[in-house]
Each structure stands twice: as structure tokens, then as C-alpha cells.
Amino acid sequence: MTRRSSAPPLPASLPATPPSSPVDLHALRRHAVARSLFTPTTLLQAVERLGGFVQADPLRAPARAQDLTLRHRVKGYRAGDLERRYPSLPLQEDFFINYGFVTPALRALMHPRTARRVWDDARWAQGRAVLAEVQRLGDAHPADVDAALGHGAVKNWFGGNSRLSTELLDGLHYRGHLDVVRRDNGTRIYRLSTPPEPHPDPQAAMDAMADVLVQKYAPLPAGSLSQLISMLFNAAHQWQHLRKATLERAKARLAHARVDGVDWYWPADEDPTRGWRIPAQVRLLAPFDPVVWDRRRFELLWGWPYRFEAYTPAPKRVRGHYALPLLWRDDVIGWANASVKGGRLNVECGYVSGQPPADEKFPGALAEEIDRMAVFLGVTA
């Protein structure tokens, strides 16, 4: 058991920047939008600006979440660029607080890691057989592994059927024994990996991962900060005993303010009230975009509940299968459902107030965003 007295000192950080004026929800909202939607840059620099992690999702409506996220932050980005360029980029697929693309530096903080589900000797024997087959193949497609080993089907975690070989590949990848080297029509292609040495300072690793979350999702209400720290133990289950200390240390080094009875946290060297520039621009955001990902924060900042309804039965949906939050300046005023039919983009918008804003600049800004979306998708607006 790790004793409190053995914990390393707090990570070095700048003294907290005092706000230039009182912090209120309006300032926090502008801060949340401006710091996340930075000037578009290169693909790798954008991932690093997002803390070294971009969440992935397989649904394509009208594009995958990772592409919808990166199109606002990467100059000239087109749908599928991340997957096309992935083999040549210093990025890796892995599970952080959820599944996505991570930098090697972030991945090294998590591995070698244990899993919540402990494999018994029989399952490890199957896993070693999978590793031997991957080694034989070099770059291994799950179908080829399954054909060679004939493991058959098993019940997966959500009650459906999947191939045992695929489940074993996923488990070995999570445990750091395999890398994803590319995708073949969306299917992961695996290669043997060498698990890194254990991190010499687990608390420092947890502090660094907590800072990744703050960099990506700040400003954060206290409840969200606590929830995110808890989710870190999906990334590094072996260090779950450090949960309380990691949260306490994060709060101690972050800037914070109490606004309308809620404690908010952000990086110590940032000032939420500094006059962040917000362009008169419409953006259609992915459901998992950092600006809107935290539903608790979303409702506090914008005053209405946004829910992801792709897995909600159609009759119970309020806003649509894959409703994209509609950001106008620094206000999420509604949502849009986008689809492509016959090579043409169709966008249908809904508004929290029941109608679009009266601002005369809004119609043109919305049309420009639809045009940008069409170019990103390679279709006609």
C-alpha cells in the first residue's frame, strides 16, 4: 500500500493567474469555446492541443466523430484524413477514458496496465495462441486469426455474438501486447507490441493524465472533474488506489472560482475573463466534441440538456439520431441533423427557442458552415 507521505510533490506549475474581472457563467462559456476551438493547425499539433487524445466512434452520420472533431481544428481537413494518415503519424489507437487516438507520450503513462476483468489460465492460453498467430502473420486481420485458430463465437458484453478471437485481440490490445497499425475498411489490423516498462512514479503518471483531461475539457465544474478523474482508472486500473490523491492534487494546483454555487476549475496559467475572441461563426459540433462532451457542464453553461440519441429507440428521440450541437458565436442554440443523399448534403436545424436567432449575420454564417461541411465530406451543399 502506498503511504501518503511517499507521494511525490505536486507537479510544477505556474502561479494561478488572477482573473482580470469577476468570473461568471458568461466568462466561463467564452473560455470553454475559445480555448478549445483554437486556430486550425496541423493534424498532429491539433491532437497535441487536445491533450494528446481524440475520442473515436464508429458511427458515420454524416462522418465519424473523430473527423467531425478534427475538421474544426485542422487546416484543410477532410473526412477520413486521420485514418488515411494514421500509419505515418506518431499516434496510436488505445483506450484512455474512452476509445480513441493517443500520442505515444500519453499511452506510455497508462502501460503496462491491468484490466478489470482478470483472465484465468485457460483464457491466457488462448491469448498466447493469438499472439503466436499474430507473430506468424506479421500484420494480422481478425478474420485471418479466427480462421487459423477457430475459436468460434461468444456472447459479448452487450448480449450479442462476437468472435472469441476478436475479443481476445481486443483484450490483448488493451493490455498493451498488440498495436493497431492501420484499418482495413474500418477493421483494426494488429501487430505485436512490446509492453513498456512500468512507470517509475505512478502518482506522477496519474497527475499527468489528470492534466490531459483538464487541458482537453476545462473549465470544469467540480462534479465533472471528479468524474473524469474516476474515469482515468479505465486507462490505468492498476493505480485505482490513487484516485482520491489524484483528485486532491489536481484541485490543489488548478485555478478555480465559485460561480452560482458551483466550484469551477481550469489551468492555473489561464484567465477565463481575459476577453477571449469569439468569431461570428456557426459550427456544427460532433456529439463528442470537447466543447459539448461533458453533459453536466453543457447544461450549466447553456441551460438546456443535450443528449446523444443514436441508441435511443426512434419513437423516443427528441432531436434526432445523430443531432449535432449547433454553436453560434459562444452559444449552443440548437442542433442539426445532417445526411448525404445522392451526393448532396442535407442539413435540418432545430432551435431551443423554437426559431433561429434574429441576428442578421446568422443566416449567412449558417450557410457558410453548411458549405464547409460539404467540402469536408466531398459532396455538394
Amino acid of residue 182: R
Mean pLDDT of 308-330: 95
Report the mean per-residue pLDDT for the chain.
Answer: 92
* pLDDT: which is higher, 10 or 96: 96
DSSP secondary structure code for residue 338 in this structure: E
Q: Cell numbers at residue 80, please?
A: 477520413
Cβ–Cβ under 8 Å, residues 270 and 256: no
Percent of the chain with pLDDT over 90: 86
* pLDDT: which is higher, 4 or 212: 212
Q: CATH fold of 121-192, please?
A: Arc Repressor Mutant, subunit A (1.10.10)
Could you report the per-residue pLDDT of 88-123, keeping only the tens digit for each?
999 999 999 999 999 999 999 999 999 989 999 999
pLDDT at 15: 66
Longest dimension (CA), the chain: 67
Cβ–Cβ under 8 Å, residues 303 and 349: no
Cβ–Cβ under 8 Å, residues 70 and 81: yes
Q: Using 50, 70 and 90 to split pLDDT, how confident is the model at 265?
A: very high
Q: Cell numbers at residue 125, please?
A: 492460453
Distance of CA 83 to the CA centre of its chain: 16
Could you report the per-residue pLDDT of 136-193, keeping only the tens digit for each?
999 999 999 999 998 766 766 556 667 889 999 999 999 999 999 999 988 999 999 9
Task: Give the Cα separation of 186 and 120 in Å (integer).
Answer: 31
pLDDT of 9 higher than 70:
no
Amino acid of residue 154: V
pLDDT of 11 higher than 70:
no
pLDDT at 18: 75
Task: Give the Cα separation of 106 and 201 in Å (integer).
Answer: 15
- pTM for the whole thing? 0.91
pLDDT at 270: 95
What distance, in Å, lies between the first and last C-alpha atoms of the chain?
Answer: 60
Q: Where in the chain is the domain with CATH 1.10.10?
A: 121-192
